[in-house]
């Protein structure tokens, strides 16, 4: 089998927009937007709070505002890294369209994790591209300090090329994997690549799900611990809610394929 590296293909395609194909509805592949938090039922786990904080943008930059009237500035390069700003100039869509909604949850020692997410969908064009980022901050309310806990960078996206979709999504979950009563973050990468069984053959989608990869709380950040890959936590594992969308790009595409021929199995490991 011949597999195209998804991220390499995405990088090329996002720099080379395709014209709108006749009969293509750019909205046909739009992730459903989530209603405002107040209109949604509360999460089964009360540790997630989508009401307390909001991310605001002004001429002076970004600011986290609390329902109690407080607020903290967020360094601009955390939310708009120079390399991402430069890439956006040539991309189908910006990866820097940050949602105002913020998910907060306690992580131990009186501190809070604040999950920030961005996502934008191409409004016209046959590529039907989308792109977004994820960032988790650590807030110490007692000291009034904010730290860059875990930056997932380009965490989700999709693009259509040659009639086949490439997509990736990093699913974020929380749990205590090292039993120290401090909450750690688990990231699972899910992706769809396009594969031809033989050179020059028709490409078909392949769905892959990676292992649970743990980032353990270490000071003012979470550090990747590869030796813990796939391990179940000491306490229950909870998915961090999506922000702004109800489905990730991979799940959306899988649903669109539900009435089509089965996806190819992932190719076996080899040179």
List pLDDT tens digits, range 125-154: 889 999 999 999 999 999 999 999 999 999
Rounded CA separation 178/180 (Å): 6
Low-confidence stretches of the chain (pLDDT < 50) are 1-28, 35, 37-46, 269-271
Closest CA to 204 of 253, 256, 262, 268: 262
Q: What is the pLDDT of residue 264?
A: 55
Rounded CA separation 179/254 (Å): 35
For the chain, the structural domain boundaries read 2-13+46-256
List pLDDT tens digits, range 173-187: 999 999 998 999 999
Place of tokens 């369209």: 97
pTM above 0.75, yes or no: yes
Q: What is the pLDDT of residue 262?
A: 52
Q: What is the pLDDT of residue 263?
A: 57
HEC readout, the chain: CEECCHHHHHHHHHHCCCCCCCCCCHHHHCCCECCCHHHCCCCCCCCCECCCEEEEEECCEEEEEECCCCEEEECHHHHCCHHHHHHHCCCCCCCCCECCECEEEEEECCEEEEEEEECEECCCCCCCCEEEEEEEEEEECCCCEEEEEEEEEEEEEEEEECCEEEEEEEEEEEECCCCCCCCEEEEEEEEEEEEECCCCCCEEEEEEECCCEEEEEECCEEEECHHHCCCCCCCCCEECCCCCECCCHHHHHHHHCCCCCCCECCCCCCC
List pLDDT tens digits, range 217-245: 999 999 999 999 999 999 789 999 999 99
| Residues in a beta bridge with 161 | 164
Q: Output the CA torsion 11→242→220→177 (10° steps).
A: -100
């Amino acid at each position: 089998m011949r597999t195209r590296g998804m991220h390499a293909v995405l990088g090329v395609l996002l720099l080379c927009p395709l014209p709108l194909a006749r009969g293509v509805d750019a909205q046909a592949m739009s992730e459903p937007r989530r209603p405002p938090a107040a209109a949604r039922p509360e999460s089964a786990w009360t540790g997630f709070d989508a009401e307390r904080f909001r991310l605001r943008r002004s001429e002076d930059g970004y600011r986290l505002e609390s329902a109690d009237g407080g607020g903290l500035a967020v360094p601009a390069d955390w939310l708009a890294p120079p390399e991402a700003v430069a890439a956006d100039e040539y991309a189908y869509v910006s990866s820097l369209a940050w949602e105002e909604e913020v998910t907060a949850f306690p992580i131990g020692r009186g501190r809070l994790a604040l999950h920030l997410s961005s996502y934008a969908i191409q409004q016209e064009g046959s590529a039907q591209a989308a792109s977004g980022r994820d960032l988790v901050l650590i807030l110490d309310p007692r000291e009034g300090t904010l730290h860059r806990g875990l930056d997932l960078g380009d965490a989700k996206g999709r693009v259509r090329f040659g009639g086949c979709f490439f997509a990736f999504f990093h699913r974020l979950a929380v749990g205590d994997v090292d039993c120290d009563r401090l909450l750690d973050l688990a990231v699972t990468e899910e992706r769809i690549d396009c594969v031809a069984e033989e050179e020059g053959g028709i490409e078909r989608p392949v769905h892959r799900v990676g292992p649970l990869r743990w980032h353990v709380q270490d000071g003012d950040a979470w550090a990747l611990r590869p030796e813990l890959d796939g391990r179940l936590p000491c306490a229950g594992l909870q998915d961090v809610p999506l922000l702004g969308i109800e489905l990730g790009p991979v799940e959306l595409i899988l649903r669109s394929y539900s009435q089509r021929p089965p996806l190819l199995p992932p190719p076996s490991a080899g040179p």
